[in-house]
């Protein structure tokens, strides 16, 4: 049948199982938005306040659901406003398809009004991108984009569609959604045998797991693997929820703000099993002193990550879930009692400090209360900064796809848009966004979106009137020269929330935390809780930049 390019686009989105788009209209995508009006009963469009919010919402939706998130923007500034969100998804391997409009074909390359080369701009931050120059190619390009976004290591794909392509007609033939195969071609018996030999000969193994465990839906297989070989498990920031934080084998996060137990275990182990993790600088720090006594077994879907940052002894390239299933079939249970007793002793000796029983209001206490009052059953998004690390440390994530945070790019302003996508993707779940006052200011306009669609997100602002993490570095490494990190501004976040149509609460006392959280959870609309915390609170443990990860600062006295 003959359809316009805009209608072909929407039919192809339906083929891919898309029922949700986050976007913002403009001239170059008017034909698409006109078609969206016709398709409004089958595809719901969420109008964000800013295109960056749309990209982050698509990202949060994808992280929580495991499906592809879709965002839509017009040409020029609309397209460039997606860039930070696309880069965020790229760094964290999140499947997103970004659709942009562009000027008509005959105006391309002529510095036309609202024209940018968005495919050129996004080439380094997408798995692939397309510009559609023939309406007859549109359906195939959309189908390929969704396949590429999900196949292998997930990531964002961009489709740029000139306006005249969306108006022209072409023959549309429906096609079934293409199956996404799990990558198994390199999982050989030889590679598995080498891995098993390393595991069996190890007396002090450590499992270091990352976001690849969540991307491949391998949390159950990881749990079985850890219990079979009886090894401690540490997670990267992106791995949160991939292994239950309540499990006795869990040692906490690893790296710059990892627990002393995790960092010492990495330093003392004789085998480090990296699963779906990329040995980022925030984990490894001083490369030549990282896991100095260990052979390294690396399991990852992306061969480009192997031997990129840290040299490995053996590796297996393939889908993490499939690799772990094959290993679990071949492994028997072992005890390793001496090593695990040592790990448990370390956990007892070097616990996270928590709220320390102080009378003051602390982020640790607030997060522990959120965990308690939600039964650990919430989805928790974060912005980027001290509050992000406190969340990873003190909220016990026990299930995958419940922690939504920008790890690789470290994008301030990510969390509110992402929490919108998370709430849309998981409407039956309670969604919290943990923010700092600096991050909240960046994209607080998305409160209008949450209110418009009555999304009961609870925004928790750890308000220390500072850019907390940068200030912490200035205190520790720049002789307390607080250059441009103090935020003594007059903004009243409660009144701001009310102006947007949300509910606002001020929280200044520890004894009011439980009641305030309960009141927020009883609301069926967006809530902002402004938590007034001390400006000089710091994130510990901390490894100074460039130092070995076993040189851990536990508090100000170290």
Secondary structure of residue 273 in the 3-state scheme: strand
Tokens 């009052």, residue located = 373
- The residues near 277 (Cβ < 8 Å, ≥ 6 apart) are 208, 209, 210, 211, 212, 236, 238, 239, 283, 300
pLDDT at 243: 98
Provide mean pLDDT across the span 257-272: 97
pLDDT band at 357 (very low <50, low <70, confident <90, very high): low
Structural contact between residues 292 and 270, judged by C-beta atoms closer than 8 angstroms: no
Q: 110-133 pLDDT, tens per residue? A: 999 999 999 999 999 999 999 999
In the predicted structure, residue 519 carries a pLDDT above the cut 80 = yes
What confidence tens digit (pLDDT) does each residue in 221-242 have?
999 999 999 999 999 999 999 9
Can you read off the two tokens belonging to residue 289?
Answer: 């002193």
Query: Integer distance in angstroms from the first to the last C-alpha of the chain?
Result: 72
Whole-number Å distance between alpha carbons of 56 and 384:
13
pLDDT(356) > 60? no
* Predicted confidence band of residue 176 (pLDDT cuts 50, 70, 90): very high
Q: Where are the alpha helices (DSSP H) in 293-332?
A: 320-330
Place of tokens 């001083």: 286
- Asked whether 130 and 141 are in contact (CB, 8 A), the reply is yes
d(C-alpha 48, C-alpha 69), whole Å:
14
Residues 6+ apart with CB under 8 A from 96: 55, 58, 59, 62, 68, 69, 70, 71, 85, 86, 89, 149, 155, 156, 157
Contacts for 349 with CB less than 8 Å, ≥ 6 apart? none
* pLDDT greater than 90 at residue 379: yes
Q: Which helix (H) or strand (E) holds 345?
A: helix 337-349
In whole angstroms, give the CA distance from residue 504 to residue 91: 34
User: Does the pLDDT at position 558 exceed 70?
Assistant: no
pLDDT given for residue 431 in this prediction = 98
Q: Given a cut of 90, is residue 555 above it in pLDDT?
A: no
Residues taking part in catalysis:
51, 113-114, 163, 469
* pLDDT tens figures, 358-371: 689 999 999 999 99
Q: Which of 345-359, 480-494, 499-513 has the lowest mean pLDDT?
A: 345-359
* pLDDT value for 522: 97
CA distance 440 to 368: 21
Q: What is the mean pLDDT of residues 263-286?
A: 97
User: What pLDDT shows up at residue 398?
Assistant: 98
Would the pLDDT of 389 be above 70?
yes
Percent of the chain with pLDDT over 90: 97
**Two tokens at 512?**
């009011």
pLDDT value at position 359?
A: 83
Q: Using the predicted structure, report yes or no on whether residue 495 has a pLDDT greater than 80.
A: yes
Which residue has better confidence, 276 or 556? 276
Domains, in order of start, for the chain: 2-168 (3.40.50.970), 189-349 (3.40.50.1220), 363-532 (3.40.50.970)
**Which residue bears the tokens 């029983």?**
357
Bridge partners, 96 (sequence order): 69
What is the average per-residue pLDDT within 272-291? 96
- Which residues have CB under 8 Å from 417's CB, separation 6+? 48, 52, 53, 54, 55, 56, 57, 59, 60, 85, 443, 446, 449
Averaged confidence pLDDT in the chain: 96
Quick one: average pLDDT of 10-15? Answer: 98
Q: Report pLDDT digits (tens) over 44-92.
A: 999 999 999 999 999 999 999 999 999 999 999 999 999 999 999 999 9
Give this prediction's pTM.
0.97
For the chain, what percent of residues have pLDDT higher than 70?
99
pLDDT above 80: residue 293: yes
Structural tokens at position 45: 């469009």
Of 136, 131, 146, 133, whose CA–CA distance to 173 is shortest? 136
For residue 363, what are the contacts with CB-CB under 8 A and spacing of at least 6?
386, 387, 390, 394, 462, 531, 533, 537
């Amino acid at each position: 049948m003959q359809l316009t390019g805009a209608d072909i686009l929407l039919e192809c989105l339906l083929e891919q199982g898309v029922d949700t788009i986050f976007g913002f209209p403009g001239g170059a995508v008017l034909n698409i938005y006109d078609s969206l009006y016709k398709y409004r009963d089958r595809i719901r469009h969420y109008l964000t306040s800013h295109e960056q919010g749309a990209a982050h919402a698509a990202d949060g939706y994808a992280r929580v659901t495991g499906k592809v998130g879709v965002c839509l923007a017009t040409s020029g500034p609309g397209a460039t406003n997606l860039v930070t969100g696309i880069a965020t998804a790229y760094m964290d391997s999140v499947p997103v398809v970004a659709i942009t409009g562009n000027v008509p074909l005959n105006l391309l390359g002529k510095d036309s009004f609202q024209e940018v080369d968005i495919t050129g701009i996004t080439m380094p931050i997408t798995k692939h991108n397309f510009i559609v120059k023939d309406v007859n190619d549109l359906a195939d390009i959309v189908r390929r984009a969704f396949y590429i976004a999900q196949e292998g290591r997930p990531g964002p794909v961009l489709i740029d569609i000139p306006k005249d392509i969306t108006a022209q007609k072409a023959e549309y033939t429906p096609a079934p959604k293409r199956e996404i195969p799990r990558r198994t071609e390199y999982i050989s018996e030889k590679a598995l045998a080498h891995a098993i030999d390393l595991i069996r000969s190890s007396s002090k193994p450590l499992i270091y797991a990352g976001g690849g465990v969540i991307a491949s839906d391998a949390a159950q297989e990881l749990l079985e693997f850890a219990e079979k070989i009886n090894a401690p498990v540490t997670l990267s920031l992106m791995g949160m929820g991939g292994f239950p934080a309540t499990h006795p084998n869990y040692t906490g996060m690893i790296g710059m703000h990892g627990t002393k137990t995790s960092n010492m275990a990495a330093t003392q182990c004789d085998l480090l099993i990296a699963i779906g993790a990329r040995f980022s600088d925030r984990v490894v720090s001083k490369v030549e002193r990282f896991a100095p006594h260990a052979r390294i077994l690396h399991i990852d879907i992306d061969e480009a990550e192997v031997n990129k940052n840290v040299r490995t002894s053996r590796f297996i390239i393939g889908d993490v879930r499939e690799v772990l299933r094959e290993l679990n079939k071949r492994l028997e249970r072992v005890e390793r009692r001496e090593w695990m007793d040592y790990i448990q002793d370390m956990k007892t000796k070097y616990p996270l400090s928590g709220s320390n029983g102080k009378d003051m209001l602390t982020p640790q206490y607030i997060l522990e209360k959120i965990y308690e009052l939600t039964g650990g059953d919430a989805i928790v998004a974060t912005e980027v900064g001290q509050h992000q690390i406190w969340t990873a440390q003190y909220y016990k994530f026990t299930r995958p796809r419940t922690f939504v945070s920008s790890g690789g790019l470290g994008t301030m302003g990510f969390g509110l848009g992402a929490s919108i996508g998370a709430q849309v993707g998981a409407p039956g779940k309670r969604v919290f966004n943990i923010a700092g006052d600096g991050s909240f200011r960046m994209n607080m306009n998305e409160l209008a979106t949450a209110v418009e669609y009555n999304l009961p997100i609870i925004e928790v602002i750890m308000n220390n009137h500072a850019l907390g993490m940068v200030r912490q570095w200035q205190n520790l490494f720049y002789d307390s020269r607080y250059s441009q990190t103090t935020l003594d501004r007059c903004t009243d976040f409660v009144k701001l929330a009310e102006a947007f149509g949300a509910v606002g609460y001020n929280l200044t006392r520890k004894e009011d935390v439980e009641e305030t959280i309960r009141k927020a959870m009883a609301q069926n609309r967006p809530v902002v809780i402004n938590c007034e915390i001390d400006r000089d609170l710091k994130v510990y443990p901390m490894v100074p930049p460039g130092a070995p990860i076993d040189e851990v600062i536990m508090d100000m006295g170290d």
